[in-house]
Amino acid sequence: MSEPLLVAREGAVSIVTLNRPASKNALSPALVDALGPALEREAGDEAVRAIVLTGAGGAFCSGADLKAGIIDDPDLMNHLDARMDSFHRITRAIIGAPKPVLAAVDGPAVGFGCDLALACDLRIITEGAYFQEKFVKIGLMPDGGGTFFLPRLVGLGKALELMYSGEAVRGEEAARIGLASRVVPADALMTEALAWATTLSKGPPMAHRLMKAAVWASFAATPDDALRRERDGQLQCLRSADAMEGVVAWMQRREPSFSGR
């Protein structure tokens, strides 16, 4: 039986692949239990400068595998809260990663799979990819951060429309409304995702970490809070070896080599 999660390295890029293609990478208990810790490890590894999260077999993630959840754990309904915490560990690992996290999406990103992609910093998708907050179709609501991410990406009205209807948003339309940054052919997805992630991995780690933390903190902050955070972060950057390297490289008309210090 194949591993439900694969982790590989391409230089300073970590590629985390959901590997249950027969179920369109539905999140079984085993996959959930592997994914959160794996993302935390990659996020904490200084050799990793960027993370690509993707799915095998032409699908990103079809959401929680309810059938596998019940078969593996007949007593599931009696400890749903603990199980949900395991799912939320994944979302928190992505948000808390002090480096860029890029979702490479082909096929369905549905339910929690949709929220998983939306939690990432950036999304590159294929023409056949689609996002669907399908929870309402079975009497549920988004539970992976969708109520937070969607309004910030597409606006309040459109977010509620997508959650109320449970309808899918596909390819170019997903990019047009802000759910994705780039749309590429399916056979070019991983090539383009790795090229983008490699470019990101060559950026200044300290600046990436500080700007990501500042952006997330801004949602619960006043403009003055944001300015104070930017001031503190920028002073750290200005005093860093990376800033000196960036200036010297610019003067010498070469690409900088950032160390994260």
Give the amino acid at 124: I
Strand 50-55 relative to strand 101-105, pairing: parallel
* Residue-wise pLDDT tens digits, 99-142: 999 999 999 999 999 999 999 999 999 999 999 999 988 888 89
Low-confidence ranges of the chain (pLDDT < 70): 1, 67-80
What is the structure's pLDDT at 223? Answer: 75
Strand residue runs (E) in 27-114: 50-55, 101-105, 108-110
What is the structure's pLDDT at 226? Answer: 73
What is the structure's pLDDT at 172? Answer: 95
Is residue 98 within 8 A of residue 208, CB to CB? The reply is yes
Is residue 109 within 8 A of residue 26, CB to CB? The reply is no
SS3 16: strand
Collect all residues with Cβ–Cβ distance below 8 Å to 57 and sequence separation of at least 6: 21, 22, 24, 25
